[in-house]
Structure 1
Amino acid sequence: MTRATGVGSMPGTTDGDHVEATRLVLGELPDLPHVPEVPGRGVTAAMTGRGLAVVEGLGADLQPAGWRLTDADGVDHRRARSLLAQDLDTVEELAQDYQGAFKTQVAGPWTLAATVEKPRGDKVLSDHGARRELAQALAEGVRTHLADLRRRVRGVDRWIVQVDEPALAAVVAGKVPTASGFGRHRRVDLPEASAHLEWVVSAIVDGGGEAWVHSCAPQTPWALVAGTGAHGLSADLDMLGPADLDTFAEVLESGRTAALGVVPSTTPAGGASEVRTTERVQRWLDMLGLDPDGVGEQLVVTPTCGLSGATAEWAGSAVRLSATVARNL
């Protein structure tokens, strides 16, 4: 059976909004709920801050230019870790009776390298040693994080860890701006890009989890991602080009997972039709030469990226529509 889940982020600005988001995903996405993220609460709750909260063995602090690695944890880094623990307390409490698969999310090594600065400034991306150290610290932190999740929600028999890499396309294309904004960092060679992702994917697998990689950016190198050992690829359907069809077909044919963002993340002007959305996915599968009955639960339906920018009402509608489309398929 085709399943539905969320990408991760949800609208809101308070801790109470996170509680409501958790109730929503547990109630409306019973086949594959996820740990909600509510980045509207501030930088410590946003993707980079939450990723640094998982990283083990490295300190960080928030500077005027953004997150920066430091010798010791700064107050904002401690806040990010505290907020993550608080959110997991909420999930633990509300999911006490849950049985089945569950998904969580973490920023990937290249997205962190492109958004976090070295101690003396400029992005971690600019330094081979620094980006290797950050990726390895993330991999180690993911192992610990996954063990914590397994302890908290004991009814989960399958933890999926979605590695968010929206910056990967820019990293391998040499499009990440330098600190001055006047230049661009050198492109990262594909073997190195793959190796850093592989460290994180392997850490997830070693911890008993299932690794997915998600990106909502165009021109993401999906063939590279598929070669890292990730079990699932997650993308907005609008961002996939003709060159990506073979990769996603091979993933599904090999028994792995493809998660497609097909439900708009903000209220569409003309409304959203479950029939049209279902037919759109069916047409895409037809282009791949696959039948919905044949892919079953390997196909996952999600809203598109950016649900944190939606109204609370539309977020609920988008989650329910995703579940309906999955049932239709």
Structure 2
Amino acid sequence: MSEEHSYPWPAASATGVGSWPGEDPDEAVRTILGELPDLPHLPELPARGVGADMLGRTLGLLVDMPAEVQPSGWRVADTPGRDLGRAHSFLSYDLDALTEHARDFTGTLKIQAAGPWTLAGTVELRSGQRMVADPGACRDLAESHLEGLLAHIAEVGRRVPGARLLVQVDEPSLPAVLTGSLPTASGFGRLPAVDRVRVEEVLRVLFSAIADAGAVPAVHCCAEGAPVDLLRRSGARLIGLDAALLGRRHDEMLGTAVEAGTGLMLGVVPGADPTPAQARRMSDPAATVSSVRELWNRLGIGPELLTRAVVTTPSCGLAGASPGHARQALKAVRDGARVLRDEPRR
């Protein structure tokens, strides 16, 4: 295989998935920049309420497609209302904190947004049915999402002009969209699966546009059954997965991705407060990344590429964790990445 691939992050990098506990964007940004100097990210703080999480932040980016919160969740609306106003305000606070603390940052900076298929599988039409059930609505959503995300990339670029942006598209609902396992509005049936060709086409257009904007397209799917081949073909330069969900059946797909120059963002510590056994494992950096070493050995790829192609992360966002565990999780993934870097040289 070729080992001449270039990766837009330093060797032995670690990063977070996105969300973070607490309500103070200044403290969150300072912490992330301090704990993850090689690949920091713009955190999401869902504890602030409606509009502050990944979904709300992304819906606030959409162009000419307002939404509001109903008892069943986010739903398409006729006009922008209070819920979107909150989402815009929260993002403004977050970007101001980023500008304050990272304006001189010159490395790779990660930002996150929910993907078009996760939005389609979550947000409701006015009828109460999920948008994914309506192909026309999905097309409109994809166009609105693309336009809004590109504007967001440009805004972050203006605020942190020395950074190279890595744009993580979060698609936790993608496996359910592809397998037809999302429930209908009544809850008694299942919505039909969306054609894989259509799914790939939408993502390819999105990732291509991100690259054309000068950013690095990435995708994260922490659900079981993540379609690695589809995501690679769509143009993602970095694919985020939960390492605990990867078995031998994934080896061929992952090996093909790495050989094609696609990086892997692998979750190796729990996103929620750990059990005693998990805490003991986290305290040992070598044990933290043992699943990554085992995977690499199965793939048969030279160890010199391991710390270039792999970025270590928590398994999912840390919004539900205690502040203590959140900090410990970032330390654990950072220490684990260093172990992977140092081991081949022993």
TM-score (norm 2): 0.91
**Cα shift at 1:59:** 1.4
**Cα shift at 1:39:** 1.3
Q: Is the contact between residue 264 and residue 311 of structure 2 (CA under 8 Å) also seen in structure 1?
A: yes
Aligned pair 1:250/2:256, yes or no? yes
Q: Is the contact between residue 18 and residue 317 of structure 2 (CA under 8 Å) also seen in structure 1?
A: no
**Cα shift at 1:161:** 0.4
Q: Is the contact between residue 116 and residue 123 of structure 1 (CA under 8 Å) also seen in structure 2?
A: yes
The residue that corresponds to 1:264 in the other structure is: 270
SS of alignment partner, residue 234 of structure 1: strand
The residue that corresponds to 2:3 in the other structure is: none
Match of 2:21 among 11, 16, 23: 11
Equivalent AA in structure 1 for residue 195 of structure 2? D
The residue that corresponds to 2:303 in the other structure is: 292
**Cα shift at 1:295:** 3.3
For residues 48-197 of structure 1, what are the structure 2 equivalents within 5 Å? 48-156=55-163, 158-197=164-203
Match of 1:43 among 50, 64, 71: 50
Q: Is the contact between residue 16 and residue 330 of structure 2 (CA under 8 Å) also seen in structure 1?
A: yes
The residue that corresponds to 2:324 in the other structure is: 313
CA displacement, residues 150-193 of structure 1 (integer Å, 9 cap, x when unaligned): 0001120x200000000000011111111111111111111011
SS of alignment partner, residue 178 of structure 1: coil
Equivalent AA in structure 2 for residue 125 of structure 1? V
Q: Is the contact between residue 110 and residue 165 of structure 1 (CA under 8 Å) also seen in structure 2?
A: yes
Aligned pair 1:327/2:333, yes or no? no
**Cα shift at 1:45:** 0.9
Q: Is the contact between residue 19 and residue 317 of structure 2 (CA under 8 Å) also seen in structure 1?
A: yes
The residue that corresponds to 1:303 in the other structure is: 314
**Cα shift at 1:6:** 0.5
Equivalent AA in structure 2 for residue 222 of structure 1? V
SS of alignment partner, residue 224 of structure 2: coil
> Any unmatched runs of 5+ in structure 1?
none
Q: Is the contact between residue 168 and residue 217 of structure 2 (CA under 8 Å) also seen in structure 1?
A: yes
**Cα shift at 1:268:** 3.2
Q: Percent identity?
A: 43
TM-score (norm 1): 0.95
**Cα shift at 1:280:** 2.8
Please list every run of at least 4 consecutive aligned residues from structure 1 whose deviation after the TM superposition is greater than 3 angstroms. Answer: none
CA distance in 2, matches of 1:96, 1:176: 42
CA distance in 2, matches of 1:139, 1:74: 22
**Cα shift at 1:96:** 2.1
**Cα shift at 1:292:** 3.2
CA displacement, residues 65-117 of structure 1 (integer Å, 9 cap, x when unaligned): 21111232121112112211211111111112212100010000110001111
SS of alignment partner, residue 289 of structure 2: helix
Aligned pair 1:27/2:34, yes or no? yes
Q: Is the contact between residue 10 and residue 21 of structure 1 (CA under 8 Å) also seen in structure 2?
A: yes
CA distance in 1, matches of 2:285, 2:61: 37
Q: Is the contact between residue 108 and residue 166 of structure 2 (CA under 8 Å) also seen in structure 1?
A: yes
CA displacement, residues 282-312 of structure 1 (integer Å, 9 cap, x when unaligned): 1111111123322332210001114211110
Aligned pair 1:277/2:288, yes or no? yes
CA distance in 1, matches of 2:85, 2:316: 27
CA distance in 2, matches of 1:81, 1:240: 37
SS of alignment partner, residue 241 of structure 2: strand
Equivalent AA in structure 1 for residue 211 of structure 2? V
**Cα shift at 1:19:** 2.3
CA distance in 2, matches of 1:118, 1:268: 40
CA distance in 1, matches of 2:302, 2:12: 12
Aligned length: 325
**Cα shift at 1:206:** 1.9
SS of alignment partner, residue 73 of structure 1: coil
